[in-house]
Structure 1
């Protein structure tokens, strides 16, 4: 079988990251040790992770006309993500303000910017969804656009993978269109058991403890390889992108591969840039 064709409908941000010994509590100021700007956004992160795991990947989203836009687009192009349908809008690109502590834990504030302009999918964008094996979505763009994309995918035989982050109540139309749900434990609790039960394949990520899969005929736990984590910012996105790229090989292989991809990403700083290639993921997938 050839490479999986993945279309990602989602966000792209510039991540503004401060490193500090510990995360501040509300009202507190702490001293940081360094500051970096890197490409982020859950959609772009997952697109890069999918490419590096071997899929042919198209990204549907938007950047602004600010100084960040060119650097963001170049990052996707350098990763071999297809950006021919990427929108350019007036105003700022999306940004995320991130604080990472000495243990690799993080807190994140996302400002949508151009991501909020991803509405009313064009015919070209709809074609990219219909021609894909998998549509991969998150919730950092308007949810109405995600619903439209997911319904179009379902109508054209494209599998829909949803990572509902940042978590919010899901419209019935979206739940009904989703084939594969990827959530962390907090997101699973927020959505509730009734919503999870309506989706055929549910994967719950559990950080260093790996992931749990629940499907129509089986369930299992997949361990995460033991690694020295320095930054978990992009680990969940690396997991989800890798899962989409490998889904054609079956849930058990895909989830175990995704656990290795997430673990490897936690050993490197940054979001999209932290995803590993197949060869790098193999170094921890043992």
Structure 2
């Protein structure tokens, strides 16, 4: 099994389903409400674990009911939680999510995620030494991400960054990353000043970027800079929350197969994830993805 170390956020998702998104100043009746484990870091960790990776996570939660629930949930997925700290001053992060017709709008309150520091990363160095690949996002402070990239480099481990939420990236950090996994908007923000056309931008970063493009699947360049396309797999969408996180967890879990094969698995896993509600609730297992691909390949 690939050993995946995830550095990132841990949230509780508070999800409201509605027939339409409210306008500014408008009050609507929602159709249903539920809480789901979430946070981009935790989501990607769960996705990788369900796909067969051996996963360890670094992050922070609050000393509260949501924090206890998140630790229990991650542990139940087989994820090593020993490096997840408990804050004495901040609550567990939450995400308020409105879902309508398969689309979503999200407001994140970082809480304890905002306390993750370079010192916490340094205290977890043993986890970097033991990993095969390190996966991170941008829902925790940039200083922690930079520290994680530096430790991954120190131990010769590939560092995958999902640059979400979108942010401009420090030059030094860019040089330490083995693979970026943005959508089109995140790509433009992360590499501001580079070519505006995404195809031209990918060509300047051969083998270092796989860009998700919704229903158009994923695009990337091989080591020679040749543009490659992995088509999406059409499904009946129920809830798109967590689809991108599923994609990223799959890229890390299948890293050892090479980028083309990992992107194929990631697109399939992402497609399956939107067929059920909840960020983690819809995440498939390796058996689910293999069966799905077998059916699509035979069609």
What TM-score do you get using the length of structure 2 for normalisation?
0.91
Report the counterpart of residue 72 of structure 1 in structure 2: 70
- The alignment partner of 1:98 has SS state of strand
Task: Return 5+ residue gaps in structure 1 as ranges.
Answer: none
Report the counterpart of residue 114 of structure 2 in structure 1: 116
Report the counterpart of residue 153 of structure 1 in structure 2: 152
Listed as ranges, the matches of 1:121-270 within 5 Å are 121-192=120-191, 194=194, 197-198=204-205, 200-217=207-224, 218-270=226-278
- The alignment partner of 2:4 has SS state of strand
Deviation at 1:199, TM superposition (A): 7.0
Once residues 242 and 122 of structure 1 are traced to their aligned partners in structure 2, the CA distance between those partners, rounded to angstroms, is: 23
User: Which range is displaced more, 249-258 or 213-222?
Assistant: 213-222
- The alignment partner of 1:233 has SS state of coil
Report the counterpart of residue 35 of structure 2 in structure 1: 37
Q: 1:176-216 deviations in whole A, cap 9, x for unaligned?
A: 11110001112122224728635742111111221111232
- The alignment partner of 1:157 has SS state of coil
Deviation at 1:24, TM superposition (A): 2.1
Tell me which stretches of 4 or more aligned residues in structure 1 moved more than 6 Å.
none
Once residues 188 and 237 of structure 1 are traced to their aligned partners in structure 2, the CA distance between those partners, rounded to angstroms, is: 16
- The alignment partner of 1:85 has SS state of strand
Confirm or deny: 8 A CA contact 1:64 1:113 kept in the other structure: yes
Confirm or deny: 8 A CA contact 1:178 1:199 kept in the other structure: no
Task: Return 5+ residue gaps in structure 2 as ranges.
Answer: 195-200
Report the counterpart of residue 16 of structure 2 in structure 1: 18
CA, structure 1 residues 199+223, in 2 after alignment: closer, same or farther (shift >3 Å)?
closer
Q: 1:66-88 deviations in whole A, cap 9, x for unaligned?
A: 12111111110111111011101
User: Which range is displaced more, 36-45 or 123-132?
Assistant: 123-132
Confirm or deny: 8 A CA contact 2:121 2:144 kept in the other structure: no
The reply to whether residue 277 of structure 1 matches residue 285 of structure 2 is yes
- The alignment partner of 1:260 has SS state of helix
Report the counterpart of residue 197 of structure 2 in structure 1: none
Once residues 26 and 183 of structure 1 are traced to their aligned partners in structure 2, the CA distance between those partners, rounded to angstroms, is: 29
- The alignment partner of 1:37 has SS state of strand
Confirm or deny: 8 A CA contact 2:36 2:279 kept in the other structure: yes
Q: 1:89-113 deviations in whole A, cap 9, x for unaligned?
A: 1231000000000x21001011110
Report the counterpart of residue 45 of structure 2 in structure 1: 47
Aligned length: 283
CA, structure 1 residues 220+173, in 2 after alignment: closer, same or farther (shift >3 Å)?
same
User: Which range is displaced more, 18-27 or 237-246?
Assistant: 18-27
